[in-house]
Structure 1
């Protein structure tokens, strides 16, 4: 095995980004060295590298970028008992401390940390997947046994689905319920639509402002998916949603992206039946004004959710194995390691049915 590799290193957000030679990490207790096949790019990666996303907290020194990936076990540290050399795995960038404490720290590998308390975790695992090899804690890996019919690039789409899956689990979506997916025109929102259908929702109301994209999502996801094009007027939008729901929804899943106003989220909230749940997982540049008395009188639950439980990927893979979740609807767009700049532009422009990734062995 080689001792050196070329990785995409970022000096700091807004600093120098270059493909440079670094040592291949050495495995240690509790960790696994993964040979990275493909790593998907987040849509905001170029803005991140240019220092335009001040909310993120990257490692305090030069680091390798990159998050979720498909790869193969290269070396195994002590205290790792189930994985085998050469086994194909999916890597989750969402790392939660394994310590048995009430508030375990969290980081997103190669991207950010959740508060200053997570610095120690980030320093232990600062480097992401834009490299031929990556060292990760064993709990970030899930075996891909039984999925030989899918290519590495196809299985990369699982990471697109697992994020909204975490939100649907948080909201306890049950078979037979009506759910609103707000922000259904985005990549995570569209994935949530297919998940809601797979999980047995009787009606999936997809909302957004792009009529063509909503129609495309509804056509691909089936007859239980019903689009509502939002006007931005809360009263009108609530009336339209309730009309197509047949009275109201049991749950709303909100995945708006960098919303400039709260109107679509409030429209989803006001369209709930008494006792309904709103799960928020998106991003908004303004505050969300909550009508205290209205929420109390309707017994609504408003739930924030970040990422997904540790066992979510394993459970989702069982759904994929059963053939109920059409991950092959997501088209891979693959770039070479040397083409990161073009790939970041493509990721920013990608549709909700495209997945831009880097072949880390190219």
Structure 2
């Protein structure tokens, strides 16, 4: 079986025959006789998501590293009944970046006929991040205003579309890549804020929006911009009006300096959303909701399809605006 194999943590996977690599014990090809409740999936597409990269390197908080393994936590494929499915969390060591993998049947969901395999593989994880954050953590209601901090990447762009689909009255998008702000507005952003401004100007821009009313913040960045957002929310939000601040990613920095008075003097609700903070069944429910809604809602995500054989090259490409999808 051809697969992408991680042979050294922190290094790109290599492409080869699964049984040419050791340390898998009795694992060779996926067995033809499956345990009850398991499906044998012929993989059609698997996306290189941020969580896939960080888990493969052992840096993600949910990672469980073993020596030599196949990366990929999800993908699309065909099960033993020739049903097109999306699948999540294959049984170790059969990650999604292989010709075949074994998956619990409860971790599979049928794909809409009109949804392309590669697009579905790219949509699922980033779509889940915003859908679960909005619905499971923030308890979003139609008619609310949502600010998305870090909206120029693939996840943030999808978050704009999902927030609008779920009934957001107004979506505010922040980012540094101002060249794509027109694109963000076409996707549904009502206001864009340039994060390249100096600190005082940026805080003032944030305060102006909070004074008009923001119900939910989805934060993909953390770091300095999140720190300013929290301070601005405390200073400018109407007295007693809670702002639900949902932390999702930290590409802008791992830490912030948050004065305790920010929380004492405001009705801020600070929470995270991800593996551990949202139970797995609810995360999977969010993925099913995204995939079900995608054809009618017309969710858009840029993808770069590449052969699985080029996984080492693909792994080194880090494009914020597009998802690389590997095709066995």
TM-score range, shorter chain: 0.7 to 0.9
User: 2:22 — aligned with what?
Assistant: none
User: CA 1:248/1:270 → structure 2, altered by over 3 Å: closer, same or farther?
Assistant: farther
User: 1:161 — aligned with what?
Assistant: 127
User: CA 1:21/1:318 → structure 2, altered by over 3 Å: closer, same or farther?
Assistant: closer
Q: TM-score, normalised by structure 1?
A: 0.75
User: 1:355 — aligned with what?
Assistant: 323
Instruction: For residue 339 of structure 1, give the secondary structure of its aligned residue in structure 2.
Output: helix
Report how far residue 182 of structure 1 moved.
Answer: 0.2
Structure having the larger proportion of residues in helix: 2
Q: Distance in 2 between matches of 1:282 and 1:175?
A: 24
Structure having the larger proportion of residues in strand: 1
Q: TM-score, normalised by structure 2?
A: 0.82
Q: Which protein has greater RCO, CA pairs closer than 8 Å, 6+ apart?
A: 2
Q: Distance in 1 between matches of 2:292 and 2:52?
A: 30
User: 1:38 — aligned with what?
Assistant: 45
Report how far residue 338 of structure 1 moved.
Answer: 1.5
User: 1:287 — aligned with what?
Assistant: 255
Report how far residue 232 of structure 1 moved.
Answer: 5.6
* RMSD between aligned residues: 2.6
Instruction: For residue 63 of structure 1, give the secondary structure of its aligned residue in structure 2.
Output: coil
**Greater shift in the superposed pair: 186-195 or 291-300:** 291-300
Q: Of residues 302, 305, 309 in structure 2, which corresponds to 1:334?
A: 305
Which runs of no fewer than 5 residues in structure 1 stay unpaired?
A: 75-84, 94-108, 110-123
Report how far residue 233 of structure 1 moved.
Answer: 4.4
User: 2:273 — aligned with what?
Assistant: 305
Question: Is the 8 Å Cα contact of residues 70 and 89 (structure 1) preserved in structure 2?
Answer: yes
Report how far residue 6 of structure 1 moved.
Answer: 1.6
Give the paired residue count: 302
User: 2:8 — aligned with what?
Assistant: 12
Question: Is the 8 Å Cα contact of residues 122 and 301 (structure 2) preserved in structure 1?
Answer: yes
Question: Is the 8 Å Cα contact of residues 241 and 248 (structure 1) preserved in structure 2?
Answer: no
Are positions 1:217 and 2:184 aligned together? Answer: yes
Q: Of residues 61, 83, 87 in structure 2, which corresponds to 1:91?
A: 87
Report how far residue 351 of structure 1 moved.
Answer: 4.4
Question: Is the 8 Å Cα contact of residues 203 and 245 (structure 1) preserved in structure 2?
Answer: no
Report how far residue 253 of structure 1 moved.
Answer: 0.6
Report how far residue 282 of structure 1 moved.
Answer: 0.6
User: 1:97 — aligned with what?
Assistant: none
Runs of 4+ in 1 over 6 A off after TM superposition: 44-49
User: 1:116 — aligned with what?
Assistant: none
User: CA 1:125/1:175 → structure 2, altered by over 3 Å: closer, same or farther?
Assistant: same
User: CA 1:341/1:229 → structure 2, altered by over 3 Å: closer, same or farther?
Assistant: same
User: 2:140 — aligned with what?
Assistant: 173
Task: Write out aligned runs for 1:1-362 (5 A).
Answer: 5-14=1-10, 17-22=14-19, 23-26=28-31, 27-42=34-49, 53=59, 57-74=63-80, 85-93=81-89, 125-144=92-111, 147-159=112-124, 160-169=126-135, 170-218=137-185, 220-222=186-188, 224-231=189-196, 233-244=198-209, 247-256=212-221, 262-272=223-233, 273=237, 274-283=241-250, 285-307=253-275, 309=282, 310-321=284-295, 323-324=296-297, 326-327=298-299, 329-346=300-317, 348=318, 350-352=319-321, 354-360=322-328
Which runs of no fewer than 5 residues in structure 2 stay unpaired?
A: 20-27
Report how far residue 197 of structure 1 moved.
Answer: 1.0
Instruction: For residue 193 of structure 2, give the secondary structure of its aligned residue in structure 1.
Output: strand
